[in-house]
Structures are given as structure tokens and as C-alpha cells.
């Protein structure tokens, strides 16, 4: 488990309006799903592994920017190993984050 931070007091809930969730799901499906190579379960979230290209890095960065707006509880970390071998996105947060991811993003990407 990660150390307690100021994010731990923010409710674990997506604030994206229902009308926009379908657009988000469609964008994830058409932009990220085809680039995903692995999903690794972590103690308090998930790590998503994508093909290592500049375009994928830009797409993952866009995803994080959008998610940060509606999921203020979440912590994100993008890692790009040397020479763009992969683009890795760690997505975690306080208790409840992992379950929310399982019901949402993980299910959408599988």
C-alpha cells in the first residue's frame, strides 16, 4: 500500500458526466486498446503496458490529462524506458481505486 497523501481524502469516484462516458469509452477503445500489450495488477491499482511509439506516448498523455480532470483521487505515472521499448502507465490511488479500475478501464481495455 502506498503512503497516505492528500489524495486519500478525496472520494474515489469518477465525476465524468454519463453523457461523456460513452465518448470516453469509444476513444479508449479506438485509441488505446489496439496499442495495449499487457495489464499488470499492482497492490493498489494497475500498470498498463502499451507499444512504445511516440504516437502512443502522446495518446497515453492525453488520456492522463483527461482522467486527471474527472478522477482527482487518482495518481498517474507514465514511464518510457529507453528507446521507446514500451509506454507504461501506472494508475493507482487510495482504497477503492483498484476496484473502480477493474469495473471501468480494465474491463474496457480487455
pTM equals 0.85
The pLDDT of residue 11 is above 90: no
Burial class of residue 65, CB neighbours in 10 A (0-12, 13-18, 19+)? exposed
Q: Which residues contact 39 (CB under 8 A, 6 or more apart)?
A: 46, 47, 48, 49, 106, 109, 110
Q: How many other C-beta atoms are found inside a 10 Å radius of the C-beta of residue 9? A: 9
pLDDT category, 105, cuts 50, 70, 90? Answer: confident
Residue 53 three-state SS: coil
Amino acid at each position: 500500500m502506498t503512503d497516505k497523501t492528500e489524495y486519500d481524502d478525496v472520494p474515489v469516484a469518477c465525476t465524468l458526466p454519463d453523457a461523456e462516458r460513452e465518448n470516453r469509452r469509444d476513444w479508449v477503445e479506438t485509441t488505446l486498446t489496439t496499442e495495449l500489450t499487457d495489464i499488470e495488477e499492482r497492490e493498489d491499482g494497475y500498470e498498463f503496458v502499451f507499444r512504445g511509439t511516440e504516437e502512443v506516448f502522446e495518446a497515453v498523455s492525453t488520456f492522463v490529462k483527461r482522467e486527471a480532470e474527472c478522477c482527482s483521487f487518482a495518481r498517474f505515472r507514465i514511464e518510457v524506458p529507453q528507446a521507446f521499448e514500451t509506454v507504461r502507465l501506472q494508475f493507482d490511488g487510495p482504497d477503492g481505486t483498484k476496484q473502480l479500475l477493474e469495473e471501468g478501464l480494465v474491463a474496457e481495455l480487455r
